[in-house]
A and B are shown apart, each in its own frame.
Chain A
Amino acid sequence: MTNTTPPQAPNSVGTPAAGGKPARVKKIVILGATSGIVLEVQRQLARRRWELLLVARSPQRLAALQADLLIRGASQVLTYSADLSSIAQHNGILEFAFREFPDFDTVLLAYGSMHNQKDSQTSIPVLLEELQVDFVSAAAILTPFAAELERRRTGCLAAITSVAGDRGRRSNYVYGSAKGGLSLFLQGLRSRLHPAGVRVITIKPGPVQTPMTDGLPHAARFADPQHVARDIVRSLERRSPDVLYTPTIWRYIMTAVRLLPEGIFKRLPL
């Protein structure tokens, strides 16, 4: 970034504060840790003294997150730098996670990409990239994690999809179909892993104020990331629901949207 080396930072090795240790520290692998939607989730988990393995592309950003989360109370923060959209790099991620963070009990997939719909319907490379990032690579990285949790017969697998995946709309159907595909994938996984006692959570946020939605119309009215993070953390800690809509109002909105007959829906400028 610059030609000067930064002076020594104040010693940033976080020591988990003393005090009542919870019965068992939860350990989570976060795929896409620098994603805007999950930053606040990580902080709330840190406050609850969770241990985290953060996976994202930029080493500098991971270093900043690591320092921040340790000071805010995380018991341990490991980082691994990789491009999740590239399936060739998945083996490295898995090896690192199984070796350095072996007894993780939760996996949260949080990365995604949203292109402008116009670009993704006119440019095949953009279309393919969107499907690759939001669906193909996500399915690819979730599969070995699912197998591992199934083998251990415990744990929780969660992924952030979107309300946009509940119904195809003219304004957003490429992103929507990738996220919708991921939702279906998770639904199947949930059914497969249920006998093994592994929980699978589909997280469907409505529009949230994150870098991904900056510049969209009405962005100021989108949900507060802190509110969404509270819902996500609660769902990670509890046994229900299987499909989390956040903020909750979106469960009702999307129920109504799904119930509209196709003959009417196709005429709506949504």
Chain B
Amino acid sequence: MNSSTQSSCGAPDKQSQSSATLHKDSPDPQPTEPVLSWGRYPRAEHRQVFRPAWNDQMPDILKAAAGSSLLPFGMGRSYGDSCLNSGRDLVQCHRLNRILGFDESTGVVRCESGLTLADIVAVFLPKGWFLPVTPGTSFVTLGGAIANDVHGKNHHCAGTFGAHVHQIALHRSDRGLIFCNPRENPEMLRATIGGLGLTGIIAWADIQLKRVAGPWINAESIPFESLKTFLDLSHDSNDLFEYTVAWIDCFSGKNARGIFFRGNHAPNCQKKFRAKHGPKLPFELPSWTLNRFSVRAFNAAFYAVHAAKKRRAVVAYDSFFYPLDSIRQWNLMYGRQGFLQYQCVIPEAKLPAFEELLDRVAHSGMSSFLVVLKQFGSAPPAGMLSFPRPGLTIAFDFSMRGEPTLKLLRSLDEIVQESGGAIYPAKDARMSPALFETSFPNWRDFVPYKDPKMSSSFWRRVTGLP
């Protein structure tokens, strides 16, 4: 295909040329490599995908790149186009997955940016340490968790992932490798947390793990039948439970019925833990599989099962935090057209707006299952462009059915815009520049920290900048 010389170890000197840089020589400027985000929409072609295996290859990649041409890519779990760079290049970081140091007295671990959270848990949970904050899937990289400043079920007491990052080493195209911590380059640290990969490529990061007794969670599930009950439950639980989240039935509109989940790490549970390996969805299901009837049936069944179930149980951490990780490639369920996630946050004072949002979804005939609802805490944002802020956040997923789906989402946008809410970039593939402005009014402050050689489809779409 091209004149690549690869030596895995032996050949003199040639090794320093990374696999990636060598591909630069290929006389093939046409976008060729299809890379999909988790929502499988939009479909973007990339010019080339670099796959460095070592941090020492990064300077060459950055040096050879043109302006605004690169974007770091982890596991591709962002739903929309924030991890894509249509017509340009990606730097896939999954091979940068080494643990470089661990201090057992403090629980600070230094990892390369392509290490997945699943891998961190697999290594450190047996030693009695767990992630300070974890999103709903463990199949994200550390770099991705920082770049999206992800949140979890403990946002109300622990804030976002970025709040637990002590230091990062960042490859910049203009300044080489720089270290960012509260004393050195503190603003670059704040820009990189939630910076969507646009400030450079993270070489490694020091993160604070937290002590836990074991892999077990004392979990409770409580059915509720109105938004009011949900809020009461959430307020009451926030002081007593480290983790809270709710699932709601999207067909019930503003009289939201759902299940409230809450839990704490079980202090001393001697149950024997065995990691489970779930099945994998092998191919795309036909897109009619998920229709309003099947999803309505699923929602009713989900509610009935959890409402009838024992309220308290000791469950393994993986089924509590990562229920969907048990079906690998579940995103193929939405078929070839893919799907759109819609996650917004609305200030709690604007409760009627929130109810209106639920009503519009219920009456749209568009189905969404696993609608997730969570009350964010009031921790100050860790990054310049962090999404979490006080209020109620809700996430829907909708099969991509073309214009009708986009129209519904635009009508939801109106509510978010009017109530001064925000949309989560990691889930977005279509928000307007105006809504981005509402969501992140200070985004222009971020621009000076952007690496001149980084860009993304999302960035170009919402800012109009290169």
Contact = CB atoms under 8 A, between A and B. Distances in A.
A217 B10 CA distance: 24
A1 B51 CA distance: 19
Q: What DSSP secondary structure best describes chain B's contact surface?
A: mixed
Interface in B168-188: 169, 176-179, 181
Contact of B179 (A4, A17, A113): A4
A3 B9 contact: no
Interface in A40-75: 56-58, 60-61, 64-65, 67-68, 71-72
Contact of B11 (A2, A11, A129, A213): A129
B98 interface: yes
Interface size class of A (residues with CB under 8 A): 35 or more
Given A10-B106, A112-B8, 9 more contacts: A10-B103, A12-B100, A17-B126, A35-B8, A36-B95, A64-B112, A68-B98, A211-B51, A215-B2
A35 B106 CA distance: 33
B228 interface: no
Nearest to A9: B101
A85 to B, nearest CB: 4
Contacts of B112: 64
Interface stretch (A115-123, A187-195, A196-204): A115-123
Q: What DSSP secondary structure best describes chain A's contact surface?
A: loop
Nearest to B103: A10
B9 A32 contact: yes
B100 A58 contact: no
Interface of A: 1-4, 6-7, 9-12, 14-15, 17, 31-37, 39, 56-58, 60-61, 64-65, 67-68, 71-72, 83-86, 110-116, 118-119, 126, 129, 133-134, 137, 210-217
A111 B99 contact: no
Nearest to B26: A215
A65 B53 contact: no
Interface in B38-94: 51, 53-56, 59
B463 to A, nearest CB: 30
Most buried by B among A10, A14, A61: A10
Contacts of B100: 9, 12, 64, 67-68
Contacts of B14: 113
10 contacts: A1-B177, A2-B177, A4-B179, A67-B100, A85-B7, A85-B12, A112-B8, A112-B9, A215-B19, A216-B1
A116 B4 contact: yes
A94 to B, nearest CB: 17
Interface size class of B (residues with CB under 8 A): 35 or more
Contacts of A37: 8
B178 A119 contact: no
Nearest to A126: B5
A73 B9 CA distance: 24
B102 A113 contact: no
A133 B10 contact: yes
A113 B98 contact: no
Interface string B176-218: 1111010000000000000000000000001000000000000
A259 B26 CA distance: 37
Contact of B176 (A2, A64, A111): A2
Contact of A112 (B10, B51, B59, B177): B10
B123 interface: yes
Contact of A36 (B10, B53, B102, B127): B53
B215 to A, nearest CB: 16
B19 A60 contact: no
Nearest to A63: B100
Nearest to A37: B8
